[in-house]
Amino acid sequence: MKKVYANATEALDGILRDGMLIAAGGFGLCGIPELLLQAIKESGVKDLTFASNNAGVDDFGIGILLQTRQVKKMISSYVGENAEFMRQYLSGELELEFTPQGTLAERMRAGGAGIPGFYTKTGVGTVIAEGMEHKEFNGETYILEEGIFADLAIVKAWKADDTGNLVFRKTARNFNVPAATCGKICVAEVEEIVPRGSLDPDCIHLPGIYVHRVIQGQHEKRIEQRTTRKKEEA
């Protein structure tokens, strides 16, 4: 089965459609599938729902899809540095399902494991719990959260082989692994595709069984908040 494609557009060919639920890896600008997001923008699909920790910044990451009004809803834990995300949400142009960060990761992981829902104490007594099912276990109150079953998962890794085994680079692993597992189809972009058998099996973070298509590309690797110290006077 062919898994390696020439570019992001080819890798997404025949997959994209209006109204999809897409799980996207990344945290801020770290480990985001920037090439795949650009290809989604260029495809023109609309009314998308994204399950992602946040939406990048205004002109990078999922932010570029907010600018073109291709996103209908975000399932996120953080509005963060994206002014357009905040503006659309506050003006009622964008639906937002706030989900605590750990709960979001677990919802993705649950979907990947075929688990339709789970109970958690996180969010009990807050606006997060409004309208949700409550249940007591051993005298403690929990709320029911649903697993995320995405139509498509897009992730960014450091290395892959041609079977789709993925290795992530340090903190860029973040949401990428749970996001990848919860998609019916997973497309990964990587910095390097290496020969089959060259990856140490003990160092593989995501087995190729979860990954359907892979592309290699050049990545910008922006810094979200650049903080520098003035050079001390001599």
Q: Is 201 exposed, middle or buried (0-12, 13-18, 19+ CB in 10 A)?
A: exposed
pTM over 0.85: yes
pLDDT of residue 16: 98
Give the tens place of pLDDT for each residue, 152-167: 999 999 999 999 999 9
Residue type, 221: K
Strand pairing class (140-146; 117-120): antiparallel
- 105: nearest Cα among 14, 32, 176: 176
Residue type, 201: P
Is residue 80 very low, low, confident or very high in pLDDT (cuts 50, 70, 90)?
confident
Give the tens place of pLDDT for each residue, 81-113: 788 999 999 999 999 999 999 999 999 999 999
Rounded to an integer, the average pLDDT of 126-140 is: 96
Phi/psi of residue 154, nearest 5 degrees = -125, 130
How distant is the alpha carbon of residue 225 from its chain centre?
A: 20
Cβ-contact 40, 63 below 8 angstroms: no
